Amino acid sequence: MDGILFGLDIGTTKICALVGEVRAGQLRIIGLGIVPSRGLSKGMIVDVGEASVAIAKAVELAEQTSGYDLSQAFVSMAGEHISSVNSRGSLAIHRNGAGVTPEDIERALDVAQSMVSVGHGREIVHLVPRQYRVDDNVVRSPIGMHGYRLEVDAHVVSGTTMALRNLGKTTDTVGIQVEEFVLNSLASGEAVLEPNEREMDVVVADIGGGTTDIALYTQGSVYHTKVLPVGGWHVTNDIAIGLRVPFEVAERVKMQHGDCRPEQIDPASEFSVKPFGGETIRVGLQDLSAVIEARVDEIFQMVLQEIQQSGYGGLLPAGIVLTGGSAQLRGITNVAEHVLGVPARVAVPRNLVGLVDSLRSPAYATSVGLLRWAISDSNLYRPRPRHQAQWGRRIGEFFRAFLPG
């Protein structure tokens, strides 16, 4: 199946617009736009206007590099408002000689969805099949199988209607229609997990700027998802408070000197920094590392608590796979392994082709994963070739949206 796909990763710290071309099942990145994020906090829109300006810039860059005008996107989704639950649907199989049909699966998923009450002001975003049974026999794909009864276990993800509308408003403002909202952790899983990791039980933790998005996979399918309201921003904020420096300076200190292993740092090692309204001071690298380790330890304690509360009773033999921008902190796998007691690795998007030099980083797992998710859903569309006269259209549409009618 061939076509063009567009993914829009709207994060707390950056907006990444990716255009992918699919030929004979091979994904090639042909368009890319990355800009600093505005108008978001902890994965949620707090200023539609500010966020729309940033999105418009990222989309323009992606259009310019790909040569296409873009109108539909798979859009990333995060925030504390996200919740998930597992459900089961079952029905009698029509005895028509054809066995289980795709329509039977859809009906069983409808039953599974009907068993979930998400409450007022919420809506279901994902209904992901986890496992099938035909007459109590677990099967990977029931299509064409004969039996009396079909059951499907599904993972159901929901979000608040208002949060989703606000996210959709930012894309609508610049002329982009949401093809599908995709949970960050599920997108990241598509980009970084090996097939055997899914089968052996694994947790993906996408540690972004404002949130940590986790997805637990067991027997090849997602079992539990959660968005934790803590991420790299909180590490930077701890440094800013401790050193009494501007946030931007604290972020630079974190990137240049940050480490999660104070016991491995020479106590005599220091660096210079200038606090608010004061003289330049010397700061011990070991002291900085202790501050970072404390916050990262807290993040993984929250991940551990979530795994325990999910009802999962296994051992996670494939461990935890870390991705997201904050997974680049030196020594972060040491903390993860210490807290969770399982193997840990930092992952980048797999099997990249095309404009990929800047994407070989954990920070772009969700961005690439959006396109991988789209392929798995077989949701392809064909936008019009880009015309030079269209340049600046996004910014113009944004400002017109806020003018009186």
Give me 136's structure tokens: 């109590």
| Among the ranges given (84-98, 179-193, 253-267, 312-326), the one the predictor scored with the smallest mean pLDDT | 84-98
pLDDT tens for each residue of 115-167: 999 889 999 999 999 999 999 899 988 999 999 999 999 999 999 999 999 99
φ/ψ bin of 80: left (φ > 0), alpha (ψ from -120 to 50), beta (otherwise): alpha
Environment class of 256 (CB within 10 Å of its CB; exposed 0-12, middle 13-18, buried 19+) = exposed
pLDDT class of 2 with cuts at 50, 70, 90 = low
Considering the chain, what percentage of its residues have pLDDT values greater than 90? Answer: 84
**Phi, psi for 274 (deg, rounded to 5):** -110, 110
pLDDT for position 380: 40
> Hey, is 113 helix, strand or coil?
helix
pLDDT for position 377: 54
Give me 206's structure tokens: 């996408």
Considering the chain, what percentage of its residues have pLDDT values greater than 70? Answer: 92
- Give the domains, in start order, of the chain with CATH numbers: 83-161 (3.30.1490.110), 194-346 (3.30.420.40)
pLDDT for position 388: 40
- What average pLDDT does this structure show over 340-348? 97
- What average pLDDT does this structure show over 89-106? 87
- What average pLDDT does this structure show over 63-82? 95
